[in-house]
Structure 1
Amino acid sequence: MFDNIPSQFLLIGSTIMAVVMGTIVMVIRLRSQKKPVSTKKIIIPPIAMSTGALMFLFPEFRVEPLQIVEAVVVGLLFSTVLIATSKFEMRENQIYMKQSKAFPFILIGLLVLRIILKLVFSNSLDVAELGGMFFILAFSMILPWRLAMLMRYKKLQKMQLSE
């Protein structure tokens, strides 16, 4: 599929896309702190992202079982940082994400770390295979984070209703 495109162009292109996507996520996340949270706003991102798994229909993106485990473990580790910095607060009788001064720096740090890992591993893995691994890593990061957010949101919502 990517045989006629030099791997360095694929690497540069995918790195640029990662920076663009990371910037978009950060802007959306910072804007979302100004609006009340809802169950829908919490669960849509992982559901929408899950469609990216269709990449594995193409053999170029498939990864070995050990690589899947590695990507999942790293994603779970990254999710702990996001879970720890995602808090809710009550304002005007509604639930909002609590603004964290550290969150933009954490997102930038995770993005930089992801780019560094990509550059390091691009010497030993095919770019498409690496893309598959990073999809698994990202999904393994966002799913537990959003599930933790949902549980906290529901708990706060239940407390709000009982008052």
Structure 2
Amino acid sequence: MSTSLPQLLSLAASVAAGVLVITLRLRGTSKPTNLRKIVAPPLGMATGFLMFVVPDVRIHFLWGLIAWAVGAVFFAYPLILTSHFEVKDGEVYLKRSKIFIVIIIALLVVRILLHDVVEKHVTIPQTAALFFLLAFGMLLPWRVAMARRFIALKRKMDAAA
């Protein structure tokens, strides 16, 4: 099986994106967080649903639901369990979680391993749609859980003050 230049470029872009996400996440734990920083990523990523306006990107509803569920169960759930906040000097910080890096790397590996398999059954734009839904399935439940925890912590801090 030979590898084409577009496949190599896609792989390089995926690896670069993974490294960027990990770097941004690690840098983000050194600054206080707020509700806006927690809810902004899923809101920004939600604009990706506009891809489904293009007919070539559309997939069967059940496939999309399965991709979203895989992201929610296998990737979001561990993040929800391991994402915690800490209070330092009256500010709320997200604690670093080693599992986050493991999950981002696992997502990348899953994408690389399944990419060729998925592309044999659906088109490249549909493959992008499936992986987008998988990633959104991870991000949305995780960030909703973080937002709920953040709000609860802020209420507790306000009550103690």
TM-score normalised by length of structure 2: 0.89
Q: Which runs of 5+ in 2 are unaligned?
A: none
Residues 86-125 of structure 1: matches in 2 within 5 Å? 86-125=83-122
Structure 1 unmatched ranges of 5 or more: 1-7
* Equivalences, count: 157
Q: Residue 45 of structure 1: SS of its match in structure 2?
A: helix
Q: Using the TM superposition, give the Cα deviation of residue 82 of structure 1 relative to its aligned residue in structure 2, in angstroms.
A: 1.5
Secondary structure at 1:102 match in 2: helix
After the TM superposition, which residues 70-89 of structure 1 pair with which residues of structure 2 at under 5 Å, given as runs? Answer: 70-77=66-73, 78-89=75-86
CA distance in 2, matches of 1:140, 1:102: 17
Measure how far apart 1:44 and its partner are: 0.7
Measured after TM superposition, the shift of residue 19 of structure 1 is 2.0
Identify the residue that residue 14 of structure 2 maps to in structure 1. Answer: 18
Instruction: Tell me, yes or no, if the aligned pair for 1:11 and 1:122 is still in contact at 8 Å.
Output: no
Please state if 1:67 is matched with 2:63: yes
**C-alpha displacement at 1:12, in angstroms?**
4.1
Distance in 1, Cα, partners of 2:5 & 2:132: 19
Q: Which runs of 4+ in 1 moved over 6 A?
A: none
CA contact (8 A) 1:122 1:130 kept: yes
Q: Give 1:5's aligned residue.
A: none
**Match of 2:47, as an amino acid?**
T
The residue aligned with 2:37 is 41
Q: Percent identity?
A: 38
